[in-house]
Amino acid sequence: MASNLVIVESPAKAKTIKQYLGKSYNVIASMGHVRDLPKSQMGVDIEKHFEPKYITIRGKGDLIAKLKKEAKTAKKVYLATDPDREGEAISWHLAQLLEIDEKSPCRIAFNEITKSAVQTAVKDPRPINLDLVDAQQARRVLDRVVGYKISPLLWKKVKKGLSAGRVQSVTTRLIVDREREIEAFVPEEFWNLDAILSKQSKKEEFTASFYGKNGKKQKLATKENVERIIADISGKDFIVKDVTVGEKKRYPAPPFTTSTLQQEASRKLNFTAARTMMAAQQLYEGVAVEGHGTVGLITYMRTDSMRISQDALKDARDYIGTKYGSTFLPQSARVYKSKSNAQDAHEAIRPTYVALTPQEIKSSLTGDMYKLYKLIWERFIACQMQNAVYDTVNADITAGDYLFKASGSKLKFKGFMALYVEGSDDEAEVKDKMLPELSIGDKLDLKKLAHEQHFTQPPPRYTEATLVKALEEKGIGRPSTYAPTITTITARGYVARDKKQLKPTELGSVVTDIMTQYFTDIVGVEFTANMEKQLDSIEDGALPWQDLMESFYQPFAKTLKVAEDEIGKIKIEDEVSDVPCDKCGRMMVYKMGRFGKFLACPGFPECRNAKPIIKESGALCPLCGGKILEKKSKRGKLYYGCEHNPSCSFMSWDEPETKEKCPKCGGLLLKRKSRKGTTLVCWKEDCGFEKEPKKK
């Protein structure tokens, strides 16, 4: 008897779904896209209304032959690719190859890979949504035309290997513009003035900060301002003028969208956007969990919706009531409103089974999967918990005509904070400190006046978290594009990472200047955001995708011709290193290759010497005495290894300590980082020494 055929993208997803559908279903993975535009040419016929020329992806021939064979004998073929534009397009390409009528009920989609969701979807197949397909085609063709028209111009005018892209160019511009803001920033001097006070005959001190004169706020711009005020209040009594006692509520953060998940994983886990999405994809597609079989652990991870299903809300509330008690449970479920331009086809990112707690399934997950699952699970449960409540006190204190203000707060009820607290891009932490009991008319003892000079700070460089936030706020790209865009601009050498910060390279600045001068629209934030709205209109069936291309291409072609005629040859000088070439003696320069920066001789082609950049840790190998070097794994993760590798096997993910030796055995100490801070541990496991590092 013929089986039903279900086609998905990945083997992991196929394995999970097969488990839910049973023997009468054959589940095969297409391994992503099966057709695409060719790499060797633009593949878009501009004269024929931007008709794309799709070809079978190289290496997919045997797989497609297998799919055709299975489809021919199958009772029914279901296309079960991801529930978004990209997934709909993959299903459409499969339908074209397998000669399936796209208007027939052949498409199934689910927001979560659970038994009930998969079985429900199979019972209710639908035709392929051609509006979704057209939106994906429009993006693909638009980006191909931009890339294949501008990139050769950059190769000719600047250097080979450069690329321009619709979203990557405007993203690079944001980073370049921010760097120029920082360079142009002129710091302004300002001062603060604090009174360290106590209640009379009491030891407990608290701080009141200068506010102004006669109730009006006053800025302290110079030291002279501060000294004049200090002279004026000399000998004056500090008296409590007003006390306001209140209560402040702190609300839980909403459940994750793609953007907020990437931001929080960057802040709390130090994950890049790409690393976050890789772990999320694995959690969504299914993991073999001990005692439960293969389970899809989270809902679809590309979403900008904050909608939560009623079943999931009930599960969360049941868990909170059982685990924490009724005081931690609001009277009704919290409902979060998505942004006006959000695609509400999916839910927020949440665990599929609340009962599968992070700790319970930890042994079944990789390190990255566990950390991300814990983040998603805790955020989801916390979003349905009671508010945290603080007791607050605010006091106005006068000294003559001058006003000082003091405030304090103390956590009264933890609420959701018992489980989860959202991270912040601002490093300053709010300290939980209450004021002593104060009454109007109280005279206070002045212990001292403290004043300090400050200067205004330039805007900070973007981190991945703040860049993703900016892209979302400005409407640049969609949830699926944030991670690949950041990966592309760093791989191209337009942007470099400096710890968590993103900094433009000279190359990135030069290319941005060309793009800004000649292709203003392409790197324009408003233009790019408006293009996303038009792509959404195509998805809604309100705009034919070729009409979008026509309106874009005519002015673009004229701009391209002007740029071709006007841009002269631009030479970018390579950054010179302090490493001499060991073949010819010239000082080597930094170059950007497929795998990042490397050192090359500037005498090319006469001298072709090149070598990797070596960064010493400052510590010596405990096995052979060689230098311990900073290295990067194939995935780009930093580790430490001996210079004599592979003959010496020393390797550590933890940074070596260079100033101290193990007091127990005299061996090498390593800096092991955790959420609690950095602990020094001996590299020898049998030694077992560890201690908290000395405070600076």
- Residue 42 one-letter amino acid: M
Pairing between β-strand 4-8 and β-strand 25-29 as defined by DSSP bridges? parallel
**pLDDT given at position 343:** 58
Q: What is the pTM of this model?
A: 0.82
The 8-class DSSP code of residue 47 comes to G
What is the helix (H) or strand (E) element at residue 39, kind and residue range? none
DSSP string, 578-610: EEE-TTT-PEEEEEEETTEEEEE-TTTTT---E
**pLDDT given at position 211:** 97
- Residue 260 one-letter amino acid: T
**pLDDT given at position 634:** 63
Nearest to 260 by CA among 421, 465, 462: 465
Beta bridge partners of 598: 591
SS3 656: strand
Round the CA-based radius of gyration of the chain to a whole number and report it.
Answer: 30
Decide: residue 558, CB within 10 A, 0-12 exposed, 13-18 middle, 19+ buried: exposed
Residues 6+ apart with CB under 8 A from 376: 256, 261, 283, 298, 349, 350, 351
> Are the beta carbons of 370 and 358 closer than 8 angstroms?
yes
**pLDDT given at position 696:** 42
Specify whether 494 is catalytic. Answer: no
| 515-519: long-range pairs with CB below 8 Å, 24+ | 515/150, 515/164, 515/169, 515/173, 516/173, 518/559, 518/562, 518/563, 518/566, 518/567, 519/150, 519/164, 519/169, 519/559, 519/563
**pLDDT given at position 575:** 80
Query: Which one of the listed residues 300, 324, 390, 640 is annotated catalytic?
Result: 300
- As averages over each run of 10 residues, the pLDDT of the chain (696 residues) reads 86 92 93 93 94 94 95 95 94 96 96 93 96 96 93 85 88 96 95 94 91 94 96 95 96 96 94 94 94 93 93 96 96 88 76 96 95 98 97 96 95 95 67 86 95 95 95 90 92 87 91 91 92 94 96 92 86 82 91 73 90 86 90 75 87 89 90 78 87 61
> Rounded to whole angstroms, how far apart are CA atoms 414 and 419?
9
Q: What is the largest CA-CA distance in the chain?
A: 100
> Are the beta carbons of 437 and 410 closer than 8 angstroms?
no
Nearest to 80 by CA among 14, 8, 185, 145: 8
Answer left, alpha or beta for residue 18, where phi above 0 means left and psi between -120 and 50 means alpha: alpha
How big is the CA angle at 403 (ends 400 and 406), to the nearest 5 degrees?
130
Residue with tokens 């337009």: 494
